[in-house]
Structure 1
Amino acid sequence: TPSATPTPSASPTPTPTPTPTPSATVTPSPTPTPSPGCVWSRNHWRDHPEDWCVTEIQLGQHTYTAAEALQIMNEPINNNGLVDLAQQLIATKLNIACNHADDSCIAQTIIDADNMIGDLVVPPIGDGFLTEEAVSGLVATLTAYNKGNLCAPVCSGTPTPSPCQLDKPALACSASAASNISLDVTGGPSGGPAGFVVQWMTLADFVANGNRWPDDPDELCEAIFSDVLPPNQTLRVTIGDDRLFDSLGVQSDCPGDPLLCDTDYVFRCRVNQSDACEASPWSNTAVCDTLPCNPGSNCTDSQGYWRTYPNVWPLQNLMLGGVSYEGTQLLQIMNRRAQGNGLIMLAHQVIAAKLNIATGADPAGVQQAINDADNLIGGLVVPPIGNGYLSPAQTSRLTETLREYNEGTIGPGHCQE
């Protein structure tokens, strides 16, 4: 398991096409607005409830009192995208209701956000939950609006911090397997208070582009980590299908893509923009390589391979613990991201290991881990087929052993794909 596994932040989306203003969802009170036509950020509304001009706010299908909405604004996000979305939506609706800010560019986003929330009740008032990935585009657009980057300016009375840019991080290769590479990301003096982003592509593609990083994001892969990068401290992250697919709070456009074996890759990173400072410059470009594959038949493939190629599965039913699953159910499990459920993480690796063994891979050194995993799973039914749950702390040791086997770090080695 990589040390200090980071969690995700919002990735930007294009500004939505203006649509007619949605029906009012904020009930105003007589409080006058001192700065018409401008916007304040989420943090301003959270810290200055005396500026609120409303008695209630509607989020999705539920109406909250101003006191309840303020509780939501002060609720830690803790990887719950519903809280993140609700806080930005509250700020947006307050800007429109209290400051009479132009909403022509944000009206459709408000409708989409309310539809996304639906009948969920936002913590701490309720226990609703949405993944950060599901709401990232909406959060990014609402945040841009509330910071004055869209159709309404920042209120002139709001103190603006001096422009600054976060310090550039450093990047170094750490360890490799046939299908993934671990990197050490070291923060500069300012650290990364809003997380960081890593980009990568093959060295061959980089050279073909004139030893330059492409401007088109479709020509490379990217992963966004939202955990804080402490100043002058190092976090280790692993780029590869299993780690990105099952890591809580990591957003990536290549979450299930294994790296190619025996291949050189280039990587770079930068820390994300914070409330006070711009994103850092890009780090150094690190060149790292994956390990060679095993060209024979006695070899293993990662969970990403088996998830992508169900047509080559040697078995169409498997036991996970004491429960039997058909092929279609197993594929549903393989396509279900763990989102902090250790049972799903473990099931992914058990399925891959059993498929590898059925294909002819030597189980020596991993059979006991498979037996222990089945005993731990017992009668739990894995989501989305059931609603079983194990904490990652309970499963991490077995999950890591099986992951190393499937990725070829231990055992007969990774297959040549």
Structure 2
Amino acid sequence: MKRLYQSILATDLKETDKMLFLAGPRQVGKTTLAKDTKNLTSHFHYLNWDNDDNKKLILQGPKSIVEKFQLDIPTNKKPILVFDEIHKYVRWKNFIKGFFDTYRSLTHVIVTGSAKLHLYQKGGDSMAGRYFLYRIHPLSVRECIHSKPNLDSEISLPKKISDKDFEHLLKYSGYPEPFLKHNLRFYNRWQNLLDQQLFREDIRDISKTHDLVHLELLAEILQHQTGQLINASNLSTKIHYSYHTVNKWLSILTQVYYCFLVQPWTKNVNKSLSKQPKVYLWNWTRVLDEGKQAENFIAAHLLKAVHFWTDIGLGEYKLHFIRDRDKNEVDFLVVKNKKPWFLVEVKLSSSQPISKNLIKFQEKLGVKHAFQVVLDKDYEEINCFNYERPIIVPAKTFLSQLV
């Protein structure tokens, strides 16, 4: 299945000598994307830290890699070298930086990882200016319809997704393998294996946590708290660990792409909640409650959109929610270049009237668009973003216009 990221990676490899970092959950397709770039050159090389022979070569140092693959011999097309799961190497940052600074003229470099790579975007980045980061997400409504990305604008014209594909996304997730197989027995086995890898390998590799039983218990609790405010004090009481430990474990679960946090928008919101985020899961099928799953489904699509728009250079985009101390709330606010852009309230049924809070906060914040996105409504051939008043829109239409 062709992914929307493929053409972008190909363009970057033709037009820039920067490293490409592919970060995202296990099984989301990072390795496949990296390996697909072999079609762009006759000199493609792949090193996986989990392969013992590859690991030995990496530990011998950059010069040994150059000699092994004869990267110093001129070629018609620049070679491509992939380092897969290199973040598991304790000194990987210094290794990659040293390799790239010395040999960037000889080869393109792609780095993949299922943890930690995204942390480089925060302060103190020792590799600033050396790489482009792409946060790889599961399949979405738009990507199921059309794999060619819109690089000139955030919003695309609406296009209909088949009812079967929409149902499969909700039931089997957007992770490519279970989505394409759409078999419940396979999905259950795939999910069990993924959990084993996540809690027995990934978390072990990036942390010194020994009590994985209680960390898994925390992860299970989060499945039932999707879309709710995270209260570390309450969670610490439930799992009988300290507030500090719970916060540390929450950070670990976000690093390995089990969950993500959405922060409140506080500017121009009287009595806003300034600290507590809401939690959502990368795999929305883990959420059993139908209403919470619908909200998580939309949250994951919005996160993919703001990540993608930011990563390809259209601007700076963030996902927030709105809630004041009087418990007036709107599920999501998408912010573009630090200014509110559009509001989203999620509902299962189209029979409910437009949320009063959606109307209230659109006016209060001066937001251009306000959507009440409903899951049960059939696709409509309308451009949601032509409307500047609050409207009820089908999820099938709204999501087809994103990424």
TM-score range, shorter chain: under 0.3
The structure with the largest helix share of the pair is 2
